[in-house]
Amino acid sequence: MSETALTTAPAADATADSTAADAPKEKVVLAYSGGLDTSVCIKWLIEEYNLDVVAVVGDVGQEHNGLEAIKAKALATGAVDCMVVDMRETFVNEYLSAALAANALYENKYPLVSALSRPLICKHLVDVAHKVGATYIAHGCTGKGNDQVRFEASILMLDPTLSIIAPVRDWDLTSREEEMAWAAEHGIPVPTTQASPYSIDDNLWGRAIECGVLENPWTEPPADIYTMTVDPQAAPDEPTYVSISFKAGIPCALNDTPMSYLAIIEELNTIAGQNGYGRLDMIENRLVGVKSRECYECPAALTIINAHKALEDLCLERDVLHHKLALEQLWGDCVYNGQWFSPLKEALDAFMAHTQQCLTGTIMLKLYKGSCTVVGRKSDYSLYSFELATYGQGDEFDQGAAAGFIELHALSCKVWAKNRLEMGADMHPLSSKVDTVCEFATN
Ligand code: ARG
């Protein structure tokens, strides 16, 4: 990391005065969102670092009021260029496909919304840096979150010769008010309406909401934090049934109508959102060691993962399924922690991809007032055997074989238990300790 840290960035305060006026400036590529932070970053990089700023806006399916307006704002704020890149197809076909193969849920809950978009954005930042001959890349993340790690680790893994500048982490504008005052002084349009008290990041895979009153874990999330999902209490009184078909692990049809994975995500964000499904309210462990209270709404992501897992239950051989569950956790940790381009993640992807080859079939779901239940599953690759499972007529399971199986399955522990008895050991050591444990717990 030290190679690309600020030490190699141009000295702060190197103002235009100290540089020959017409000498070509060095370039920095900035991940730009159009918000106050990254707008201040543009001016800051010009004023404090004397760089030409090339802004890059990535469309990953976030809510916005027009990407052209964001581009105009970047240019008006002083960027020498602003590139708006539609990243949605790649986001879905490379990033959300891999995430689905891994049923990726950090801490068993969060479908990695922001963690998935960062590496893709970085790929474009690095590409643009190469195209325009920039040696610096800048992002607008704070020094407390995971996103700074993801940006910087991804950039380092893609091109270790680039240097990274993190203005928000480095500047001394401590409060929002100070930042707004600095922005106003430097001619940056400051939101006139009361800015949202929340920090929000969103894309096709969902929406993350943090800060404001949510910082108190005892406070119930206010109704107005959600925009993709209705309150489950206000959802329709009738359930909505929806079927998702998969081909080699990728969603390919909704209610038997063939559709692209991208279109299915968009449609399910609407349908599941209307049924109040997909909200999360959790305490999450950030990589930097802080527990934070995070709220999410991920209607399509959670619906699709739910269906995908159900198809795997049907089609994957038991041992593959069990080992995959453990590797899914690892995949989620890896991506959450900014290791998208790492060799470990690459190796895990290869395992996941192998398991998806026969994952073709259809899952029926029932969405109802905030819940999403799997109610049906079918596949030509189903390993479910009625003849083996049934307790009724047509049973082909050899119950007689079970006795010998159990004898051998338990044999090594039986030998151990016999020895313990012979040695006079207490065979139930826990029972004597239970009282002590209870006493401790009640004290
Ligand atoms: N905690 C989530 C993560 O680390 C979401 C972060 C989203 N960023 C934001 N500014 N709200 O992936």
pLDDT tens column, 103-131: 999 999 999 999 999 999 999 999 999 99
pLDDT value, residue 177: 83
Q: Determine which one of 199, 260, 342, 371 is catalytic.
A: 199
pLDDT value, residue 196: 78
Of the chain, the percentage scoring pLDDT greater than 70 comes to: 91
From the CA of 147, give the closest atom in ligand 1. 4
| pLDDT band of 21, cuts 50, 70, 90 | low
| 435 Cα–ligand 1 center, Å | 44
Rounded CA separation 136/161 (Å): 9
Q: What is the mean pLDDT of residues 15-29?
A: 72
DSSP category for residue 6: G
Rounded CA separation 354/77 (Å): 48
Q: Determine which one of 118, 150, 279, 377 is catalytic.
A: 118
- List C-alpha distances in Å: 87 to 6, 91, 100, 145, 219: 29, 6, 18, 23, 36
Residue 202 near ligand 1, beta carbon < 6 Å = no
Q: Report residue 64 as tokens.
A: 């916005």
User: Is 224 in the active site?
Assistant: no
Q: What is the mean pLDDT of residues 188-196?
A: 74
User: Is 147 in the active site?
Assistant: yes
pLDDT value, residue 3: 35
| 201 Cα–ligand 1 center, Å | 6
pLDDT value, residue 179: 86
Residue 141 near ligand 1, beta carbon < 6 Å = no
Rounded CA separation 123/71 (Å): 20
Q: Determine which one of 39, 88, 147, 377 is catalytic.
A: 147
| 303 Cα–ligand 1 center, Å | 20
pLDDT value, residue 175: 80
**pLDDT tens-digit series, residues 279-325:** 999 999 999 999 999 999 999 999 999 999 999 999 999 999 999 99
| 198 Cα–ligand 1 center, Å | 11
pLDDT at 16 over 50: no
